[in-house]
Amino acid sequence: MLALLAAVPILLTIVLTVVFNMSAKKVLPIAWAVIVVIGYFAWEMKVLDIAAYSVAGFLGSIDTLLIIFGAILLMNMLDKAGAMHRIQGMFNGITEDARIQLVIVGFAFSAFIEGAAGFGTPAAIAAPLLIGLGFPPMAAAISCLILNSTPVPFGAAGTPTNAAADIVKEMLPTIGITDFEAWKLGLSFISALGMAVGALLIIFVVVGIITRMFGKNKSFMDAMPVLPFCLFAAVVFDIFFLLLAKFIGSEITSLTAAAITIFVLIGAAKAGFLMPKTIWRFESDEKKDKKTEDIPHMSLFKAWIPYLFVSLWLILTRIPQLGLKGPIKSVVISVKGILGVPEAAWNFAILNNPGVAPFILIVLLSIPLYGLTGTQVKEIFSKSANQVYGATIALIFGFGLVYMYRYSSINGLGLDSMLLTMAKGVAELAGGNYFYFATFIGSVGAFMFGSNTVSNIMFSPLQFQTAQLLNIPPTVILALQNQGGAIGNMICINNIVAAAATTGVITIKGIEGKLIRTDIVPWAIYYVICIITMLIAMQLGIAPTV
C-alpha cells in the first residue's frame, strides 16, 4: 500500500504530461504539492523538514538551469557572430545529407561530449548544432534525447559506473570480492555490452523516426539507404567502447571511443564510403538558400574555437589523472542548515558547472574574438534569458519533488524513503522475475533524478541486496541498473524539459508529453535489448557469476 502511495506523484506526472498534454511547468508543481501532502500525512514528516528539503531541491535546480542557460547563450552567440553558419558549412562540406549529419553530430559528437561532461551537456551542445545544420528544433530535441543513451554509463569520465561501484564497495566482501579494481573492470565491461548491442539498432531507429516524422515523404523507409552507414558507425564505436571498458576502465570509455568514431565517420563520409546515392534533406530546409559557406572573414578554425575550448576544458577538468578535477571541484558555494535543519544543505561547485565554465566563460571570451558590439551582447543575453524562462519553473519543482522522494526517510514513523519503499514494492511484486525489473528500476531513478549517476547512487545498494536474497549475481543486477539509468535519460522529465528549452520548443503546448510518447518506443527497444544481451552473456559465461 505504501509503495503504491509513494508512486502516486510519478504516476500523476506521467498521466498529466502524456495523456492530458499538460506542460511540465504546470504538472511538476502539482506533483510536488501531492508528495508534500503524502509526506506529511502518510510518512509523518515534520513541516520544517518538508520545507527545508524542498528548498534544498529548489536550490539544486540552479546547477541544471545554469547548464541550459550557458548552452543557449553559447548557441545564440555563435549564431549572432556568424560562426554557426560557418560550422554548418563545414558539415555540409562533408555531406549535405541530414541523415549522415545526424549520425556524425547527433550520435558520435554527442557521445564525445557525454564522455567528457555528461549531466545534460550533450543535448545542450549537439541539439543547437543540429538546428544550425537545418534540423527542425523538434527533430534535434528528439534525436539528442534518444541517442544520448549508449555512452551514458561512462559519461563525465565514467561517473555513473564509478558511482555504482563506490556505493556498494563495502558490500563486496559478502560476495567474496577482494580485488575492487578488477571487479569494477568486470562491471564496466558487462555494463558496456548491452549498450553496445543496443547501438547497433538504435542509431538507425532514430534516423527512421526523424525521416518518418519530419521528412517530405513521412516514411521510415527513407532511412534505409543509410542503414549500412549507421551499422558502420555503431561497429566502429562499439569496438573501442568494449575494449576500453574491459581493459582500461570507465573513465575514458565513451570519450575516447566517440573521438575515434568522429574522425573515422568524417573520413568515411568524405571518401563516399557507404554513403547513400541520393541526398536527403528536410523539406523546409530544401527551400532555403544555402548561404552557410558564404560567411565572410570567418575561418573554419575561428568558427570552431568556442567548441574546441569547451571540449578541451571538459577533458582537462573531468579526467582525474590530469590533476585539474580536484582544484576545480574545490571551489564550492555552500548553504548549510537550511531553515535550521542541520542535514538540509546545498553545495554548488561553481567552476565544475559546465554552464559557468566553459559555456558562459567562452561566451565572454568570444566577445572580443568575434568583435561583437555592446548592443549585440545585450541582445544575446536577453534572448537567452527569455528562452530559459519556460524551463525554470518546471526544473525548480522537479528538483523539489526529487528531494522529497530522497529525504522522506527522515520521518516520524521510521519508514524507508518513498523512493526505497517504491523500489522494494517492485522487487516484492516481481519476485523470481526480479531480473527483468532491475533495468526498469534504474530507468525509474533516471526518470526521477535526470541522472544515471544519482539513480545508481540511490538504487545500487537496494539492487545489490535484493540480488543476494534472490540468488542472482549482484554484479549482473548492478549492470542492468546502470543500463536502465542510461536509457532512462531519454524519457526523464527534467532532461526533456532541458532539451525542449535548449532547442526552443518549450513554448509548444504539451511538448513534454509529445517527446515522452516519441521516446518511449526507443526506450522499450533498448530495454529489451539490454535484458536479452545479459541473458545471452550469462548463458555464454561472459557475465560475472557473482
Hey, what's the cell of 56? 534544498
Return the beta strands (E) in 353-397 as ranges: none
Looking at residue 15, what is its pLDDT? 85
Looking at residue 106, what is its pLDDT? 94
Give CA–CA dist 65/88, Å, rounded: 27
User: Any idea what DSSP says for residue 323?
Assistant: S
Strand partners, 346: 335
Other Cβ atoms within 10 Å of 546 Cβ, number: 15
Contact 113, 121 (CB under 8 A): yes
Looking at residue 443, what is its pLDDT? 93
Give CA–CA dist 261/115, Å, rounded: 13
Looking at residue 50, what is its pLDDT? 98
Give CA–CA dist 521/215, Å, rounded: 19
Cα 476 to Cα 212, 236, 253, 255, 523, distances in angstroms: 36, 25, 19, 24, 20
Looking at residue 285, what is its pLDDT? 61
Looking at residue 292, what is its pLDDT? 42
Instruction: Report the predicted TM-score, pTM, of the whole model to 2 decimal places.
Output: 0.77
Give CA–CA dist 121/156, Å, rounded: 10
Rounded to the nearest 10 degrees, the angle between the axes of helix 121-132 and helix 47-81 is 30
User: Any idea what DSSP says for residue 123?
Assistant: H
Looking at residue 293, what is its pLDDT? 44
Strand partners, 335: 346
* Low-confidence residues of the chain: pLDDT under 50: 286-295
Strand partners, 334: 347
Query: Which amino acid, one-letter code, is at 152?
Result: V
Looking at residue 393, what is its pLDDT? 87
Give CA–CA dist 45/348, Å, rounded: 26
Other Cβ atoms within 10 Å of 469 Cβ, number: 9
Contact 510, 23 (CB under 8 A): yes
Contact 175, 546 (CB under 8 A): yes
Looking at residue 136, what is its pLDDT? 94
